[in-house]
Structures are given as structure tokens and as C-alpha cells.
């Protein structure tokens, strides 16, 4: 299973512009975002055009997988991202809305979870899709290891 050998701890803070979206039947979690200036490639330094930046899109997709992972973890556990395989297929301008959907795996493979993710615009066009891997870890041990790094 790719992506299960690296462990990195990243935090995500929910923005106020997030609104719950109705989950699609085949997907476990759906979240809708409105693209604002601070989400653009220009603002994030990942490009020079004022459209949704790939790094922001990936952060939103990862946030959906974090929510989806909740049913797989027990007390004292969390998940951490280990791999991202995303194809960003088209631009999304400021003011447009994007729905991020994450489908959970049927089961964990060892401590690894692979989520299928996609982003659709308000017209229903898929603007990005792919997979994100997360590893189930003991929260305290992970933070202890991170403090020694």
C-alpha cells in the first residue's frame, strides 16, 4: 500500500466560509467552500493566476478525509496524512463554490486508510479527483516522536 511508510503531522483550522453540503450517495463526507482571494494561486504563491490554488484544494480534500476517518479511530488515536495523489483538472475562479467529497475505504488495511476524493464546481463539473492516504496512529506517541524530531 503506497504512502504508509511516512508519517507527518499537519493541522487544519476550519474557516468560517465552510458550510456543510449534502453528502452524495456514493461519498461519505461532503463540504462546500466558496473560493475567496486568499485561496488563489496568486495569494498562496503557487502560481500567478487568481484562481483556486492546488495547495488550498488539497488542504480542503485532506480536511474531508479527516472527518471521514473518525469512524475508523478509537480513543487516543488520530490519523495523519501519508500520501496525496490528486489530479487538478480545471480552474475555479474567486466567488465560485466547490464541493469536496471524500469516500471512506471499506476497511483499514493495517493502519492505513485510502480515501477517494473529488471536487466539483456548482455546475457539477469534476475539477479535481484522486486519492489521499492516512495512517491511524496513537496521538500521544506521535506527538512525543514529533517533539524529538
Q: Please say if the pLDDT value at position 66 is more than 80.
A: yes
pLDDT of residue 134: 97
Model confidence pLDDT, tens digit, residues 102-113: 998 888 888 999
Model confidence pLDDT, tens digit, residues 77-106: 999 999 999 999 999 999 999 999 999 888
Task: Give the domain CATH number at 116.
Answer: 3.10.129.10
Within a domain: 12? no
pLDDT of residue 20: 38
Q: What is the DSSP letter of 109?
A: B
Within a domain: 60? yes
Within a domain: 40? yes
pLDDT of residue 27: 53
Within a domain: 8? no
Mean pLDDT computed over 134-148: 96
Within a domain: 13? no
Q: Please say if the pLDDT value at position 17 is more than 50.
A: no
Within a domain: 5? no
The domain of 116 spans 19-148
| C-alpha 146, offset from chain centre | 22
Q: What is the pTM of this model?
A: 0.81
CA distance 121 to 96: 7
Model confidence pLDDT, tens digit, residues 46-56: 999 999 999 99
10 Å Cβ neighbour count for 33?
Answer: 23
Strand 19-20 to 126-138 pairing: unpaired
Within a domain: 7? no
pLDDT of residue 107: 84
Within a domain: 2? no
95 and 128 Cβ atoms separated by less than 8 Å: no
Number of domains forming the structure of the chain: 1
Amino acid at each position: 500500500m503506497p504512502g504508509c511508510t511516512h508519517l507527518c503531522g499537519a493541522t487544519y483550522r476550519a474557516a468560517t466560509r465552510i458550510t456543510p453540503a449534502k453528502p452524495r450517495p456514493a461519498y461519505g463526507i461532503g463540504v462546500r467552500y466558496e473560493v475567496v482571494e486568499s485561496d488563489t494561486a496568486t495569494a498562496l504563491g503557487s502560481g500567478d493566476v487568481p484562481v483556486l490554488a492546488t495547495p488550498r484544494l488539497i488542504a480542503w480534500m485532506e480536511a474531508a478525509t479527516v472527518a471521514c476517518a473518525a469512524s475508523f479511530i478509537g480513543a487516543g488515536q488520530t490519523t495523519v496524512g501519508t500520501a496525496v495523489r490528486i489530479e487538478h483538472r480545471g480552474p475555479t475562479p474567486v466567488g465560485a463554490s466547490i464541493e469536496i467529497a471524500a469516500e471512506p475505504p471499506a476497511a483499514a488495511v493495517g493502519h492505513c486508510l485510502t480515501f477517494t476524493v473529488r471536487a466539483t464546481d456548482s455546475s457539477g463539473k469534476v475539477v479535481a479527483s484522486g486519492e489521499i492516504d492516512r495512517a491511524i496512529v496513537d496521538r500521544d506517541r506521535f506527538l512525543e516522536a514529533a517533539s524529538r524530531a
